[in-house]
Amino acid sequence: MSATLADRVSSRLRDIQDFPSPGILFKDVTPVLADPAVFGDVIRDMADRRRGTVDVIVGIEARGFIFGAALAHELGIGFVPIRKAGKLPGEVRGLTYDLEYGTATIEIHQDAFVGGERVLVVDDVLATGGTAEAACRLLDEAGATVVAFETLVELAFLPGRDRLVGREIHATVVVT
Ligand SMILES: O=P(O)(O)OC[C@H]1O[C@H](OP(=O)(O)OP(=O)(O)O)[C@H](O)[C@@H]1O
Ligand SMILES: Nc1ncnc2[nH]cnc12
């Protein structure tokens, strides 16, 4: 039997213990990106799940840009970045939140949405859920409609899903 996409991605996730700080088991996605067959199949799988149901892809800096921009291109729709504080040049709205390792502030351009756009939020890893929750709240405040949160990897041993109650979440790989 041929390997599932989840198995193929799992085999290309590299675990780095104690990065970026002691006690963190870091899931490195760079081997997934380095394999064009797997990376391509990941993007096509995400696209097939969303075709015709979203207007805009929002990617979260930095690794969410890689998957989000490729997905937007595959779907033929626009891409909007959520960036760390101080990086976007125009007027912004922002939110500060807790991370698995520290705190962060994210920002989005104030004029990125007129209201009502159907948005898919994309990132590489769902860990504590702080980033995803902040991104979804920021988009709610901006008047966009968050259709779902799409991630390559969900760390199910952390309570990320609990921060996103009521939101649709899909992960290519669930790490237990
Ligand atoms: O669910 P959470 O606990 O919020 O963690 C998930 C977030 O952490 C990582 O980003 P990071 O802040 O390390 O930034 P990077 O993508 O720029 O490396 C990852 O890419 C997610 O955005
Ligand atoms: N353990 C982890 N591995 C990779 N990215 C992360 N982002 C937050 N926690 C992470």
Structure token pair of residue 63: 């690794």
Pairing of strands 118-126, 92-99: unpaired
**Where are the chain's structural domains?**
52-175
50 in catalytic set: no
> What is the distance in A from the centroid of ligand 2 to the CA of 19?
9
pLDDT at 100 over 90: no
> What is the distance in A from the centroid of ligand 2 to the CA of 127?
6
133 in catalytic set: no
Structure token pair of residue 141: 């405040």
DSSP codes joined into one string, 32-82: HHT-HHHHHHHHHHHHHHHTTT-SEEEEETTHHHHHHHHHHHHHT-EEEEE
Q: pLDDT tens, 5-61?
A: 999 999 999 999 999 999 999 999 999 999 999 999 999 999 999 999 999 999 999
Residue 59 to residue 79: CA distance in whole angstroms: 7
Q: pLDDT tens, 125-156?
A: 999 999 999 999 999 999 999 999 999 999 99
Q: What is the ipTM of this complex?
A: 0.98
Say which ligand is closest to the CA of 123: 1
In CATH, the architecture of 52-175 is 3-Layer(aba) Sandwich (3.40)
pLDDT reported for residue 168: 98
Ligand 2 atom closest to 26 (CA): 3
pLDDT at 1 over 80: no
